[in-house]
Amino acid sequence: MKITRILTHPGGAHKDEFLACCVLASVHGCEIVRKEPEQAELDDISTAVIDVGGEHDPTRSNFDHHQFPKDHEPICALSLVLMDLGVYEDARSFCEWLETAERFDVTGPISTAKWLGVEREVLSRLISPIDITLLRRFAKSSKLQAGDPLYEVMRWIGEDLLDFVRSLRERLEFVAGNASIWEVGGLKILFMPRTDPMPEEASAGLGRYIESIGLKDEVAGMVYPDRRGSGYGMSRFNDDPRFDFTRIETQDDVHFAHARGFVAKTSASEETRLRELLLLAKVSQG
């Protein structure tokens, strides 16, 4: 369906409709108008009506959540747009901020703070001036179109969000098809071999893959191709203290070990040698 116009409510701007407009602008490149919708606009399938209008009907390009009952699972305008694009489940899995944004928009800051287990004041301390400026400028705009500075920033935000979600799914599938779990000294290690072609960032997605297979409490470290050389990088997973890579900094084939011990780089590429280095880096317990 080709969207030729994005319409959202006037007045104060919130993160959910702002991000929903960002995503749609990145997909369709059409103008954004901030006004109350007329019935003809609700009926026009080429006009995406966001966070206003009183109905959620993707077949008519209407994405409002305010009419949902009080006991409905918190979802916002951004949620509805991501559902329509078929990426909502991945977005919920990969974007930890999304569920918080949904709850904040639907239930408010006090309820969201309680759900997060923090004081209300903590949320205020996390507000970025970037958020404030973008939302304030968006609220002051009645129409935005390609070429406007704010519109182009919004399009970047939408593009990056969708690219992140879609590319991470592809990356996880790639890792699943190539990675293996080693057992070294009683510890589980995720090993990502060198492939041809090599991903731009060989370590990308490894942590999320570990979480996705239910081993986040078991895997202690990761070994992956060094993008700056022919060897491998070694790092703790979730800063597991059972590895201290400063213990191998004097090895001839180790050319870098961070002073805090959480990562090292080696020119070694043979599995036997990599396992030896991991054993040397292991911290004795007790």
One domain, residues 164 and 183:
no
One domain, residues 96 and 184:
no
Count the domains in the chain: 2
One domain, residues 229 and 263:
yes
Whether 174 is covered by a domain: the verdict is: no
* C-alpha pair distances (Å), 104 with each of 98, 110, 177: 10, 9, 37
One domain, residues 194 and 268:
yes
CATH code (residue 221): 3.10.310
Give the chain's residues under pLDDT 70: 285-286
Structure confidence by residue, pLDDT tens digits, 74-104: 999 999 999 999 999 999 989 999 999 999 9
**What's the pLDDT score for residue 74?**
94
Whether 142 is covered by a domain: the verdict is: yes
Pick the closest to residue 164 from 239, 91, 78, 62 (CA basis): 91
Burial profile 25-53: b = 16 or more Cβ within 10 angstroms, e = fewer: bbbbebbbbbeebeeebbebbebbbbbbb
**What's the pLDDT score for residue 286?**
46
| Collapsed DSSP state (helix, strand, coil) of residue 192 | coil
**What's the pLDDT score for residue 203?**
83
Whole-structure pTM value: 0.81
Question: In which domain, by residue range, is 64 found?
Answer: 5-168
One domain, residues 203 and 261:
yes
Whether 286 is covered by a domain: the verdict is: no
* C-alpha pair distances (Å), 49 with each of 171, 272, 278: 33, 59, 55
